[in-house]
Structure 1
Amino acid sequence: MKAVHLTLISHAATEAQRLGRFHGDDDETLATSAQPVLLPDGATGLAGPELRTTQTAQWLGLQASVEPALRDCDFGWWKGVSLKALQRDEPALLQAWLSDPHSAPHGGESIADVCQRVARWLEGFTTPGHWVAVTHPMIIRAAMMHVLQCPLAAFHRIDVQPLSQLHLGHYGMWRVRLAGAD
């Protein structure tokens, strides 16, 4: 059995993140002066289907195939809505979503749904080699929680910044792989 190495990278910063609103599918990344992430030689690329993930993959120089399982959470009618507007107009619904991982007051996916989707994908992902996947903060949180077997209540306690990386390794089971200096 050969090892699987999977590096999940959060997409580059977006205007939606800057403004504190839920993403839409066509949100673009902002120009960045950050140094591109160094990718391992021979890595195979994957990306979520949204524009911001494919733009980030291109910026990184990654030839990425679209992987539907890496799509962001479906926020339903909250797409494009700011957290401030929800706090003002629908505070009970926002609080339900933040406190109950099975709640989906926006008509889209719940946190539990996202975590289940990512867990199914990870458990079926057994192709050896090094993979680099550009995806979303919520997907990275879900992957980390699955590998560490965290309760769903921990979901909102994980911050994933733009261009953050989560390194995972699989040889019999998934493990979080901390990267050190070269």
Structure 2
Amino acid sequence: MKATHLTLISHAPTEAQRSGRFHADEDGVQLTTDQPLVLPRGSIGLTGPELRATQTAQLLGLRPTVEPALRDCDFGRWKGVSLKALQRDEAELLQVWMNDPQSAPHGGESIADVCRRVADWLEGFTAPGHWVAVTHPMIIRAAMLHVLQCPLSAFHRIDVQPLSPLHLGHHGMWRVKLTSAD
């Protein structure tokens, strides 16, 4: 049985992140002067379907296949809404969402739903080779919780910056793979 190496990469910076709002589907990335990531030679690319993910994959030189399981959380009616506006207009609902991973006061997906989707995808994904998947901070958090078997209450304790990679390996089981900086 050959090993699977999977690097999940958070999309490049966006205006939504800079301004503190939930992403809308059409949000693209901002040009960045960050040091480009060096991808393993012969990597096979995957990406979430959103523009910000596909643009980042292109910036990284990937020709990825769109993987629906890597899509961002569906924020329902909160798409495009700033956290400041929610704190002002729907503070109680925002607090419920932050504290209860089963809740979806915005009418979209709950954090628990996202975590289940990602866990199901990971458990079915054991194709050998080096894979690079461009996705979203919430998907990377969900993958980390699943692999480390952490409770859903730890979800908001993980901070995923733009272009951050999470290296995973699978050989009988998923493991977080820490690598040295080159």
Post-superposition offset of 1:114: 0.2
CA distance in 2, matches of 1:163, 1:181: 14
4+ residue runs over 3 A deviation: none
Instruction: For residue 139 of structure 2, give the secondary structure of its aligned residue in structure 1.
Output: helix
1:127 is matched with: 127
Q: In the TM superposition, what are the counterparts of 1:74-85 in structure 2 within 5 Å?
A: 74-85=74-85
CA distance in 1 between partners of 2:72 and 2:181 (Å): 31
* Matched pairs, number: 182
Measured in 1, the distance between the counterparts of 2:121 and 2:55 equals 23
1:69-127 residue CA offsets vs partner (Å, 9 max, x unmatched)? 00000000000000000000000000000000000000000000000000000000010
Q: What displacement does 1:36 show?
A: 1.2
Which residue does the alignment assign to 2:6? Answer: 6
Name the structure 2 match of 1:149. 149
Q: Which amino acid aligns with 1:2?
A: K
For 2:54 and 2:37, the matched residues in 1 are separated by 15
1:107-118 pair list within 5 angstroms: 107-118=107-118
Amino acid at match of 1:10: S
Cα displacement (A) at 1:35: 1.8
Deviations 1:36-73 (CA, angstroms, capped at 9, x unpaired)? 11000000000000000000000010111100000000
Task: For 2:38 and 2:98, locate their aligned partners in 1 and report how far apart those are by CA, in whole Å.
Answer: 34
1:168 equivalent in structure 2: 168
Q: Which runs of 5+ in 1 are unaligned?
A: none
Match of 2:40, SS? coil
Percent identical across equivalent pairs? 79
Q: TM-score, normalised by structure 1?
A: 0.99
Alignment of 1:26-45 (within 5 A): 26-45=26-45
Secondary structure at 1:146 match in 2: helix
Residue aligned with 1:52, SS: helix
Matched residue, 2:65: 65
Aligned to 2:140: 140
User: TM-score, normalised to structure 2's length?
Assistant: 0.99
